[in-house]
Amino acid sequence: MSEILPMRTETAQVHLGAIALDKAYRKGQHRVPVLRGVDVSIGRGEFLSIVGQSGSGKSTLLHLLGLLDTPDMGEVRLEGQRIDDLPQTTRDELRNRIFGFVFQFYHLLPELTLLENVITPLLIRCSPLEYWRQRKNFRSQAMEVLEKMGLAHRIHHRPSELSGGEMQRAAIARALIGKPEVLLADEPTGNLDARTGQEIIDLLSELNEREKLTIIMVTHDDSIARQAERIVRLSEGRIQALEEAA
Ligand code: ADP
Ligand code: MG
């Protein structure tokens, strides 16, 4: 019993995992393999970075992990349960509830204010009646998360009136409002200068440390990647090497 216990504990702590993921895209007649047997797992509350060159399949992997796309082979597991093969509506619900996404180019809706942008994920989750009933509550949740991101003074501004760093902080606020279990960040500093990028990394580290949020960040930049707790490298369609971050 005592021999198997540590093993069990370890297994139970795996929050999200990819097992032997294969993914290829079609280009005309050709099938271009991108992921060829990717195995990776992240523990609950861990901050993992996946580093790799442009075109190595980082975004593809993140999309598979976050149920934005389906693998050709292999499995995605959440707490040991397979989730990639669930019916579409279940996948959509799960994605909405479990994952928060942050992208390189923010993807804020230009015609909406920051407050409205941040509320959007809650709006998508419920019926119009439910939304109407909850609107004050939703608004205060959005205010709270925008304040936490240092954007309390910007809530009525539109994205075009903000700096890149502010837009990314708003995008993080939008990712957090649904209280996700796992934050998936795709080159979150890729469009920012070094100093602003560092502020975003510091913010992610803080969220990870304070709120024990599980974070997977992909980046092509080694110096950014090294700031996570653990790094894995994606190369030639596989996870190549494990390196301990500083
Ligand atoms: P990364 O994020 O590491 O730059 P991607 O996952 O975006 O890499 O892309 C990996 C490879 O797959 C690239 O060669 C890219 O051109 C190709 N690719 C990505 N998405 C598609 C798609 N929807 N259709 C066809 N090819 C794609
Ligand atoms: Mg990419």
Q: Mark the residues whose beta carbon lies below 5 A from ion ligand 2.
A: 58-59
Region 37-45: mean pLDDT is: 96
| pLDDT number for residue 126 | 85
| pLDDT number for residue 4 | 37
Greater model confidence, 212 or 6 = 212
Is residue 6, in this structure, part of any structural domain at all? no
C-beta separation of 39 from 237 below 8 A: no
Tell the residue nearest (CA) to atom 6 of ligand 1.
Answer: 57
User: Phi and psi (nearest 5°) for 129?
Assistant: -65, -45
Region 98-111: mean pLDDT is: 94
Rounded CA-CA distance 169/149 in Å is 6
Pure H helices in 29-87: 58-65
Region 162-172: mean pLDDT is: 96
| pLDDT number for residue 241 | 65
Rounded to the nearest angstrom, the distance between the alpha carbon of 13 and the centre of ligand 1 is 31
Is residue 1, in this structure, part of any structural domain at all? no
* Residue-number span of the structural domain to which 217 is assigned: 14-244
The CB density around residue 18, as the number of other CB atoms within 10 Å, is 22
Is residue 230, in this structure, part of any structural domain at all? yes
Number of domains in the chain: 1
Rounded to the nearest angstrom, the distance between the alpha carbon of 184 and the centre of ligand 2 is 12
| pLDDT number for residue 101 | 96
Is residue 3, in this structure, part of any structural domain at all? no
Region 204-220: mean pLDDT is: 97
Is residue 7, in this structure, part of any structural domain at all? no
| pLDDT number for residue 242 | 60
| pLDDT number for residue 137 | 94
C-beta separation of 142 from 177 below 8 A: yes
Tell the residue nearest (CA) to atom 21 of ligand 1.
Answer: 25
Share of the chain above pLDDT 70, in %: 93
Is residue 9, in this structure, part of any structural domain at all? no
Asked whether the predicted pLDDT for residue 103 surpasses 80, the reply is: yes
Q: Are strands 238-244 and 230-235 parallel, antiparallel or unpaired?
A: antiparallel
Asked whether the predicted pLDDT for residue 7 surpasses 70, the reply is: no
Q: Are strands 99-102 and 182-186 parallel, antiparallel or unpaired?
A: parallel
| pLDDT number for residue 244 | 54
Region 92-109: mean pLDDT is: 94
Rounded to the nearest angstrom, the distance between the alpha carbon of 186 and the centre of ligand 2 is 7
Mean pLDDT of the chain: 91
Asked whether the predicted pLDDT for residue 10 surpasses 70, the reply is: no
Region 206-221: mean pLDDT is: 96
Any residues with Cβ below 6 Å from ligand 1, and which? 25, 34, 52, 54-60
* CATH number of the structural domain spanning residue 55: 3.40.50.300
Tell the residue nearest (CA) to atom 25 of ligand 1.
Answer: 25
Region 118-142: mean pLDDT is: 91
